[in-house]
Amino acid sequence: MPTLSPSLRYRHWRHLKDRIARRGVAFGGVSVIIAILLIFFYLLTVVVPLFEPAEVKPRSSFLLSETPEAVRYLTLDEYREIGLAVDADGTARFFRLDDGGDVTRIPLELPPGARVTSLGKADPAVELIALGLDNGQALVIKPVYKISYPNDRRHITPQIEYPLGQDPIEMDEDGGALRAIAIQMDEERATLAAVGEDGRLFIAALAIEESFLDDGFSYEQENTVIDPEIPQAHFVLVSGPQTELYLAGADGDTLLYSLHDPTAPELIQRLDLTPGGERLTSLRFLTGSVSLMAGDSHGQVAQWFPVNDQGRPRLVKVRQFTNQTAPIGDIAPEHSRRGFIAGDDQGRLGIYYTTSERLLSLEKISDAPLLQVAVSPRADAALALDAKGRLHVLDIRNEHPEISFKALWGAVWYEGYSEPAYLWQSTAATADFEPKFSLTPLALGTLKAAFYAMVIAVPLAIMGAIYTAYFMTPALRRVVKPTIEIMEALPTVILGFLAGLWLAPYVESHLPGIFALLLVLPAGVLLFAYLWHQLPDALRRRIPEGWEPVLLIPVIVVLVSLSMWLSYPLEQALFDGDMRNWLANDLGIPFDQRNAIVVGLAMGFAVIPTIFSITEDAIFQVPKHLTFGSLALGATPWQTLTRVVILTASPGIFSAVMIGLGRAVGETMIVLMATGNTPVMDWSIFQGMRTLSANIAVEMPESEVGSTHYRVLFLAALVLFLFTFLVNTLAEVVRQRLRRKYSSL
C-alpha cells in the first residue's frame, strides 16, 4: 500500500472535516425545522378542538306519555341516569333514561282535586319549580337526587322537597286558574308572579326568616294585583335579582316592570319582542336570569337583555339566530353556560351558544313537533318530548361552544354592558359568569409594548452602532462594544423587578421631568457641542482624537439630573401641583402608574444590545475598499456613510431591527411585572396593557387542562408563533432583496 505524503494526508483530512461540518450543519438545520414543525403541530392539536361542532348521539327513545300535553315539566339528573316528568295531575314520575322504566312515582302535595295548569322555573342553575294550580294557588317544589355508594356502586335516590313548605301559596284569592307563573328565590326572599284566567297579574313577595333553633323557617307574604295592558299574557318571568318582571303576550307585546318595591311595581318599558309580526312561542331566561331568549313562529330565537339607560334598565335586542325555520316549541338553557337548545315543530333540535353566536348542531330527531326540551346540568345530555308522547334521550358532546372567530377577535356584546366591547376576563367568582375570551386586547397590548420599546431602542441602538463602527476610535470601540453587548446577559426578571418597583413610581413622581428631558437633553448636547468647538485648539487637543464622546457622559448625567430637578417646579407652575390629575380632569386621559412609558424604557433597555450588536457588526464588516474608494473619489465621510456604507449594511441593519422586534414581541417577564396586566384597548402612553406572553404566564398555571380557557391560552401561543414566523419570513425576504440590490457596490 503506497504511503501518502504529509501534504496529501493533510488535504484528505481537511476534506473529511469539511464533509463532517457540512453534514453536521445540514443535520442541525433540518433538526431545527423539524422541532419548529413539531411545536406548530402540537399547538395546532390543542387548539383545533375549540372550533369543532357539537356531537349529538341518540341514546334511547320510548313512549313517555299518551297525553304529552299534560306533561308540565321535564328534566334529568347530572349523571344522565334518571329523568323527571311532572304531570298535570300532580304526579312526579322519576324514570330511567335508558329504557323509560319507572324508578318511583311521588304524588305532590296538591289540594284535593287541584290540577297543575302552569309551571315556572327559577334560574336554570337552580332546580326550583313553581306549579300554578287551577284554584289560584301555587306550590313550590325542588327535585333532589340523593347519592349513596352501597358496595362501591353509585345509587341515586330521587326525592321531592318543598323549599317554601307543603302548604300552597295563595296567588288569586278568587280561585281562578293560573295560566302562567314565574319564581325566583334566594336565602332571604322569594318572588312569585302569575297570570290568572282573567288576565290579571298577581305578585307575591315573600320575606323568609330561618329559625335559629332548628331547620325550620317562616315567611311573610305581601300580595299585589295588577291589571296589565296586555289582556292575554302567555309568559311571565322574574329576573334573578328579583328586581325586574317581564310580561309578554303571544303577539310579542311585552311589559317590563321594576320590582324594587314589589308592592308597587312600576312599568318602565313596553316593547315588541317580535317586531316582524311573528307569534311569540317560547320565552326563557339564560342562566343567570338576565338574558331573555325569545323563540317565534318563524323559527327565530332572539336574545334580549337589559342595559343601563340613565339609571334604569332598558331591554334591547342583542343578537338573533335564524337557523331554524319552523315554530320554536320550547327552549332549554344550559345550567352553567350561555348556551341553550331549541326544539321546533319539524322535530329538529338546535344547539346554540349566545356569546360566540354559534350554531353548534341542528339535528332532526323526530317526525313530530317537539313540545318540550331539557338539558342536563353538565350540558352533556338532552331530553326532547314530541307531540306523539315519545321521549328522545340524546348524548351531547359540546366542550367548547364559547369560541368563534368573532368571540376571539370581534367586538362582542356581553351581558351587563351598554355596547359591544373587546374584553378578556377568563374567570370570576360567580357561577353564572360569562367568560370573555377576546384576544384582541392582548394582541393590541403585545403590539403596543413592542412599539414603544422599539421607538426607544431602534434610534439609540442604530445611531450608536453607526458611530461605534464608523467614527469611533478602535481603542474606545474595544471598550464600548463589549460593554453594551454584556447588557444582554442581564436577566429580564431583574429589569422587570426594577421597572415595576423602582422605575414606575419614579416616573410617576417625576412625570413633568420625563417630558422636560425630551427637550433639555437634545438642546443641552447641541449646546455642549457648540461650546466645545468654540474652545481654543490647544485646549481641545488635550483630549485624544476619537475620545470626545466620553466627555458627553458627565454632560448627559447633568442634563438628566437637571430635568428631574425641574420636575417639581414645572408641576407646580404648569399643572397646579399634580400632572396626573391634570391629565385625568382636564384632558380626560387616565393615568396608570405601570404604563407604556415604563414598559418602553425597560424593554427598550433590554432590546438595545441585540439591535446594536448586529447593526454594528453589519456596518463594521462593510469592505474597506468601498469606503476608501468613495473617499478617494472626493466624497465626504458623511456622504460615504449614507450612500455607501449604510446601503451595503442595510440587510444586516434590517435583520437587527426584525430580531429586536421579535425579542420585544415575545418578552414576558418585563411586561408581566411592569405593565399592570390590564387588558385594555388603548394606545395611550399613560395606560398599561396585557400582552399575549404575559397572559399565558399568568393564567396557564391556573387553567384546567383541556378546558376552553386552557386551549385559548394555547391559541394565544399559536398566534405568537405565527406572528414571529411571519415577521422572520418577511425579514428574510426583504434582507435577500436588499442584499441582491446592493451587492454590486
Residue of 159, 166, 162 whose CA lies nearest to 105: 159
Question: Alpha-carbon distance 335 to 396, whole Å?
Answer: 14
The answer on pLDDT for 491 being more than 90 is no
Residue 225 pairs in a beta bridge with 202
Whether residue 435 lies inside any domain: the answer is: no
Q: What is the DSSP letter of 168?
A: P
pLDDT band at residue 539 using 50, 70 and 90 as cut-offs: confident
> With contact defined as beta carbons under 8 Å apart, do 714 and 700 qualify?
no
Identify the pLDDT of residue 612.
93
Identify the pLDDT of residue 431.
62
Tell me, yes or no, whether 405 and 551 share the same domain.
Answer: no
Identify the pLDDT of residue 194.
93
Residue of 314, 315, 321, 308 whose CA lies nearest to 354: 321
Tell me, yes or no, whether 87 and 17 share the same domain.
Answer: no
* 3-state DSSP assignment of residue 27: helix
Whether residue 430 lies inside any domain: the answer is: no
- Indicate the helix (H) or strand (E) that contains 739: helix 708-742
Q: Which residue has the cell 454594528?
A: 616
Q: What percent of the chain has pLDDT over 70?
A: 98
The answer to whether the pTM exceeds 0.85 is yes
Tell me, yes or no, whether 26 and 99 share the same domain.
Answer: no
161-175 per-position pLDDT tens digit: 999 888 899 998 888
| 115-129, 482-496, 731-745: the lowest-pLDDT one | 731-745
The answer on pLDDT for 485 being more than 90 is no
Tell me, yes or no, whether 232 and 284 share the same domain.
Answer: yes
Contacts of 266 (CB under 8 A, 6+ apart): 257, 258, 260
Question: Alpha-carbon distance 700 to 607, whole Å?
Answer: 26
Residue of 718, 584, 502 whose CA lies nearest to 44: 718
Pairing of strands 312-321, 328-333: unpaired
Tell me, yes or no, whether 40 and 73 share the same domain.
Answer: no
Question: Alpha-carbon distance 67 to 191, whole Å?
Answer: 31
542-593 per-position pLDDT tens digit: 888 778 888 888 999 999 999 999 999 998 988 888 888 898 888 888 888 8
- Count helices and strands in the chain by DSSP H and E runs: 17, 31
- Indicate the helix (H) or strand (E) that contains 384: strand 381-386
Q: Which residues of 232-270 are buried (b: 16+ CB within 10 A; e: fewer)?
A: ebbbbbbbbebbbbbbbbebbbbbbbbbeebeebeebbe
Q: What is the DSSP letter of 53?
A: P
414-446 per-position pLDDT tens digit: 998 889 999 999 887 666 688 899 999 999 999
379-419 per-position pLDDT tens digit: 999 999 999 999 999 999 999 999 999 999 999 999 988 89
Whether residue 434 lies inside any domain: the answer is: no
Whether residue 728 lies inside any domain: the answer is: yes
Tell me, yes or no, whether 623 and 678 share the same domain.
Answer: yes
Question: Alpha-carbon distance 384 to 373, whole Å?
Answer: 4
**Residue ranges making up the domain that contains 67:** 61-424
- Burial label for 96, CB within 10 Å (0-12, 13-18, 19+), is middle
Whether residue 549 lies inside any domain: the answer is: yes
> With contact defined as beta carbons under 8 Å apart, do 447 and 601 qualify?
no
Backbone angles phi, psi at 136, to 5 degrees: 85, 5
Based on the structure, what is the number of domains in the chain? 3
The answer on pLDDT for 4 being more than 70 is no
The answer on pLDDT for 735 being more than 80 is no
CA atoms within 13 A on the CB side of 148: 5
Whether residue 724 lies inside any domain: the answer is: yes
595-606 per-position pLDDT tens digit: 899 999 999 999
Question: Alpha-carbon distance 349 to 367, whole Å?
Answer: 12
Whether residue 713 lies inside any domain: the answer is: yes
Identify the pLDDT of residue 742.
67
CA Rg value for the chain: 37
Tell me, yes or no, whether 529 and 580 share the same domain.
Answer: yes
Residue of 286, 434, 431 whose CA lies nearest to 356: 434
CA atoms within 13 A on the CB side of 440: 16
Domain boundary among 358, 392, 424: 424
Q: In 68-150, at which residue ranges do the beta strands (DSSP E only) sit?
A: 71-76, 82-87, 91-96, 102-107, 116-121, 129-133, 137-148
Backbone angles phi, psi at 530, to 5 degrees: -65, -45
Residue of 700, 722, 721, 718 whose CA lies nearest to 709: 700
* 3-state DSSP assignment of residue 310: coil
Identify the pLDDT of residue 104.
93
Cβ-based neighbour number of residue 517 at 10 Å: 19
Tell me, yes or no, whether 227 and 370 share the same domain.
Answer: yes
C-alpha torsion 498→502→504→510, nearest 10: -140
Tell me, yes or no, whether 418 and 554 share the same domain.
Answer: no
Tell me, yes or no, whether 181 and 32 share the same domain.
Answer: no
**Chain centroid, CA 502 distance in Å:** 31
650-697 per-position pLDDT tens digit: 888 988 998 898 888 888 888 888 888 888 888 888 988 899 999 999
Tell me, yes or no, whether 448 and 401 share the same domain.
Answer: no
Across 443-467, average pLDDT: 93
Question: Alpha-carbon distance 214 to 609, whole Å?
Answer: 73
Apex CA 306: angle with CA 300 and CA 307, to 5°?
125
Tell me, yes or no, whether 220 and 122 share the same domain.
Answer: yes
Question: Alpha-carbon distance 232 to 253, whole Å?
Answer: 10
Domain boundary among 395, 424, 453: 424
Whether residue 405 lies inside any domain: the answer is: yes
pLDDT band at residue 213 using 50, 70 and 90 as cut-offs: low
Question: Is the four-CA dihedral 657, 663, 666, 667 of positive or negative sign?
Answer: negative
Residue 156 pairs in a beta bridge with 147
| The three cell numbers locating residue 604 | 427598550
Contacts of 93 (CB under 8 A, 6+ apart): 84, 85, 86, 87, 102, 105, 106
What's the CATH code of the domain at 341?
2.130.10.10
Identify the pLDDT of residue 102.
92
The answer on pLDDT for 152 being more than 90 is no
| The three cell numbers locating residue 275 | 317586531
What's the CATH code of the domain at 492?
1.10.3720.10
Q: Which residues of 276-312 are buried (b: 16+ CB within 10 A; e: fewer)?
A: eebbbbbbbbbbbbbbbbbbbbbbbbbbbbbbeeeee
Task: Give the orientation angle of helix 440-466 with respect to helix 596-620, to 10 degrees.
Answer: 40
Question: Alpha-carbon distance 696 to 263, whole Å?
Answer: 51
Question: Alpha-carbon distance 302 to 283, whole Å?
Answer: 10
CA distances to 49, 406, 426, 536, 710 from 707, rounded to whole Å, are: 10, 19, 11, 75, 5
Question: Alpha-carbon distance 516 to 521, whole Å?
Answer: 8
Cβ-based neighbour number of residue 350 at 10 Å: 23
